[in-house]
Structure 1
């Protein structure tokens, strides 16, 4: 991947950005900030952003990316219901992943990587199928952990972000690259905030 910054191209991209795209980005940023605050409103906010993004992707005939957004939509609805669920099967509180959660996470990421690689190499002209598939599959796993309100969702999502930043930059998608860098930084603080809340609850339990 080649890295060369084109300021004129970036300015042109900003000037040509449609209102709906700005709305999608704004709701996407808001979703991550609300997730950092452990606020359930991240899900309705995220759903609006996903729907706006899906319209843009369909208009651009990016059908595979639209299918990915469908997955995000399903996981957002599931996560919203799961966070509101106060029973033992719900995710009303932040928790740490156990061995079963780790196994499922690795399964989603690993099988998703293989599946997406096959789809990209078989049905598209992608020139970066390995990296592109990895970014999406780890994001899938991170979304599942977020729906379960697991602390480790931030780690999984940031593995995806860390690889996505240079990938987007190399494709001269500077705005998306900078946005992903911003999301990476927010996710770091999200992890620290969630861990602090968990540690505080653990300390309270030990003192009882």
Structure 2
């Protein structure tokens, strides 16, 4: 796909976007920007955005994407509660930023890899899915990384950088120009999220540095 055709498709997709879809996209970006600032209202934006996406995907018969966004809705509720009342949280919503140790990351990567291989194999054998393993990896990595955000694990931003980079490749290949552009925006925000959270993390007391097992 040439750059001109990609830009033309992007313009056409933008023109075709429904009001509900636009609202969901705007709220999804708002969620990330608020998450960078550690503002727990990010979870309210995430809940509304994913609720809209859940209905939109169901309407166009993308059942798995609808189910995934249903999971995101549940994590938005959990994230709101945990940022306010979780380990080390107080009435000001000051849940500290954690970092995972090597064991936590090994488990997370193991879960992502196992689930991606299993679902990728099933999709490859029993469907005409494009990029079954890459699609599966991006999906399962997003599931795990969303949990990391809810736990305020600093390393979530590094995971998102990888996920969004792979998602851009996936969506460009599928000709989904607007979705690819959205994930490019997510990628940029993820970089700033990492920088912002690292700065705040270094200002915290040492005892809050590693999440309890």
TM-score (norm 1): 0.89
Match of 2:161 in 1: 158
Number of corresponding residues: 202
Match of 1:130 in 2: 133
Match of 2:211 in 1: none
Moved more, 38-47 or 94-103: 94-103
| Structure 2 residue 70 is the aligned partner of structure 1 residue 67 | no
Q: After TM superposition, give the deviation of residue 103 of structure 1 in Å.
A: 3.2
Unaligned runs of 5+ in 1: none
Match of 1:33 in 2: 33
CA–CA distance in structure 2, aligned partners of residues 25 and 13 of structure 1: 13
Return closer, same or farther for 1:85/1:119 CA change in 2, 3 Å cut-off: farther
CA–CA distance in structure 2, aligned partners of residues 17 and 83 of structure 1: 33
Moved more, 117-126 or 173-182: 117-126
CA–CA distance in structure 2, aligned partners of residues 8 and 86 of structure 1: 47
Match of 1:145 in 2: 148
Return closer, same or farther for 1:70/1:123 CA change in 2, 3 Å cut-off: farther
Match of 2:42 in 1: 42
Match of 1:168 in 2: 171
| Partners of 1:116 and 1:137 within 8 A in 2 | no
Q: Deviations over 1:101-160 (max 9, x none)?
A: 223322331233123314423553202101111111211121111111000000111111
Q: After TM superposition, give the deviation of residue 81 of structure 1 in Å.
A: 1.5
CA–CA distance in structure 1, aligned partners of residues 80 and 117 of structure 2: 28
| Partners of 1:138 and 1:159 within 8 A in 2 | no
Return closer, same or farther for 1:104/1:39 CA change in 2, 3 Å cut-off: farther
Return closer, same or farther for 1:33/1:20 CA change in 2, 3 Å cut-off: same
CA–CA distance in structure 1, aligned partners of residues 197 and 18 of structure 2: 35
Local SS of the residue matching 2:13: helix
Return closer, same or farther for 1:23/1:114 CA change in 2, 3 Å cut-off: same
Return closer, same or farther for 1:87/1:10 CA change in 2, 3 Å cut-off: closer
Moved more, 188-197 or 166-175: 166-175
Unaligned runs of 5+ in 2: 209-213
Match of 1:96 in 2: 99
| Partners of 1:141 and 1:156 within 8 A in 2 | no
CA–CA distance in structure 2, aligned partners of residues 82 and 196 of structure 1: 21
CA–CA distance in structure 2, aligned partners of residues 121 and 114 of structure 1: 10
| Partners of 1:33 and 1:186 within 8 A in 2 | yes
